[in-house]
Amino acid sequence: MVSMTAQPRAARLLQMQQLFKGRAAGFTTAELASLTGVDVRTVQRDIATLQNTMYFALAKQGQRYVHPRDARLSLEINLHEARALLFAARLLVRYSDETDPYAASAVEKLARAMPDAVRPQVLAAAASIARSPANAEFTRTLTTVTEAWARRRVLRLSYRSAGKSRPREVRLQPYFIEPSAAGMSTYVIGLSETHGAMRTFKVERIVSAEALPRHFEIPPDLDLDQLLQSAWGIIWGEGTLVRLRFTPGVTWRVKESRWHPSQQIEDLPDGGCILTMTVASLMEVGRWVRSWGHEVEVLAPASLRNELRDEALKIMRTYTAKPKPQRRARRVRQPVADATLPRLAIP
């Protein structure tokens, strides 16, 4: 085997994954040390990281570590399909506040379908993702949820709801896994056997997750996009009519994007516009409305209009009040040495 010089750990871990995937017989730690340019002890630590932090499937057979064939997924895609998947992976990593180590290996695999001119750029993106600090607990939880979702296994969750100090046990049939850019979070949606209804659970709030041996079936007529039709982000349900008037200066930007499936835009004589849509959560859409500042006026519903009006008054009082003078930190006076006292010799 050809020995290689040592390289940054993130790149080395990606290289080790590819080595395992390319050789069904696997490797000994000595062989991996020779291939990666590090010592055997470092390889052992890397293998532990692959298994325990990155959840890369490895089995030990005698003195060799192998990547089981049943843990591999094959994918044949063209350049433009790879680009679409790369966009999805980059957006997920950018808008999620939890680092997913699998995103790095996914982007690295996408690089294979790219032409030589852009492959180094994609590989650099994979290495950048791999260097980000990972949250081992979140990765472990998301891995358990993903495997239960793919294998149709009921989950037992210890879940801490927003504002609650103690977690509650929940039995969940995981139907869908959905990211949300609005909250930079990941959610699992399914039938909560505990509540007897469909529920959404934020993965970041799951204290622990365990896949039970019991299986379930997803209703064949259940459509995620239809379920989230009224959602602005992740909260669905009975919709509320929202009407927003935008100033002429930002109308072009409002028309540039499709913000919601139910949206309708009405042009106004002054060059502004009115955006009308039906959304389930005023809390979610309210964050977006606030981002437009004075360029938007809430016409309906009255509850959202009043909420923003009261908030604006509080902001005005904050910025029109005379700033409180900052109190200077008290200066601690140092004791003055008494020249009449004998000095002690300190050995």
The least confident of 40-54, 139-153, 193-207 is: 40-54
- Asked if 7 and 15 touch (Cβ cutoff 8 Å), the reply is yes
Q: Which of 44-53, 153-162, 201-210 has the lowest mean pLDDT?
A: 44-53
Residue among 268, 149, 117, 292 nearest 216 (CA): 149
Note the pLDDT of residue 346.
39
Q: What are phi and psi of 12, to 5 degrees?
A: -65, -40
Specify if 159 maps to a domain. yes
- Using alpha carbons, list the distances in angstroms from residue 94 to 98, 208, 254, 300: 10, 25, 23, 33
- Kindly list the distances between the CA atom of residue 38 and the CA atoms of 13, 23, 35, 41, in Å, as whole numbers in the listed order: 12, 20, 8, 8
Q: How many domains does the chain have?
A: 4
Could you tell me the pLDDT band of residue 84, with boundaries at 50, 70 and 90?
confident
Identify the DSSP state of 285.
Answer: H
Top-confidence residue, 202 or 83: 202
Within a domain: residue 188? yes
Cis omega (within 30 of 0) on the bond before 301? yes
Range(s) of the domain holding residue 112: 79-131
Query: Domain holding 17: CATH number?
Result: 1.10.10.10
Q: Between residues 65 and 77, which one has the greater pLDDT?
A: 65
Q: Look at residue 1 and tell me if it is in a domain.
A: no
Residue 125 lies in a domain: yes
- What is the per-residue pLDDT across 276-301, written as a single tens digit (0 to 9) for each? 999 988 988 999 999 999 999 999 99
CA distances from residue 218 to 190, 191, 251, 332 in whole angstroms, order as listed = 9, 9, 42, 69
Q: In terms of pLDDT, which residue wins out, 63 or 9?
A: 63
User: What integer best gives the mean pLDDT of the chain?
Assistant: 84
At 243, is the pLDDT very low, low, confident or very high (cuts 50, 70, 90)? Answer: very high
- pLDDT at residue number 344: 38
166 by Cβ neighbours in 10 Å (0-12 / 13-18 / 19+) ranks as: exposed
The pLDDT > 70 percentage for the chain reads: 85
* Closest by CA position to 260, among listed 273, 247, 279: 279
Residue finishing a domain among 131, 150, 174:
131
Q: Does 140 share its domain with 127? A: no
pTM of the entire structure? Answer: 0.63
The more confident residue out of 62 and 112 is 62
Residue with tokens 């709030």: 205
| Percent of residues, the chain, with pLDDT higher than 90 | 44
Answer yes or no: do 316 and 248 share one domain: yes
Kindly tell me if the per-residue pLDDT of 3 is higher than 50.
no
Let me know whether 148 and 202 are in one domain: yes
Same domain, 123 and 140: no
Q: Is residue 226 part of a domain?
A: no
Q: Is the pLDDT of residue 258 over 70?
A: yes
- State residue 201's pLDDT score: 94
CA distance 271 to 265: 12
Boundary residue ending a domain (53, 71, 89) = 71
Q: What is the dihedral of CA 311, 312, 314, 315, to 10 degrees?
A: 120
- Residue 245 confidence (pLDDT) above 50: yes
DSSP state of 97: S
- Domain assignment of residue 338, yes or no: no
Same domain for 244 and 301: yes
Q: Are 36 and 7 contacting, i.e. CB atoms less than 8 angstroms apart?
A: yes
Q: What pLDDT is recorded for position 122?
A: 80
pLDDT tens-digit profile of 85-130? Answer: 778 777 766 666 666 777 777 777 777 777 777 788 888 777 777 7
Tell me if 230 is assigned to some domain. Answer: no
SS3 159: strand
Confidence at residue 226, expressed as pLDDT on a 0 to 100 scale: 82
For the CA atoms of 126, 129, 130, 134, the dihedral, rounded to the nearest 10 degrees, stands at -160
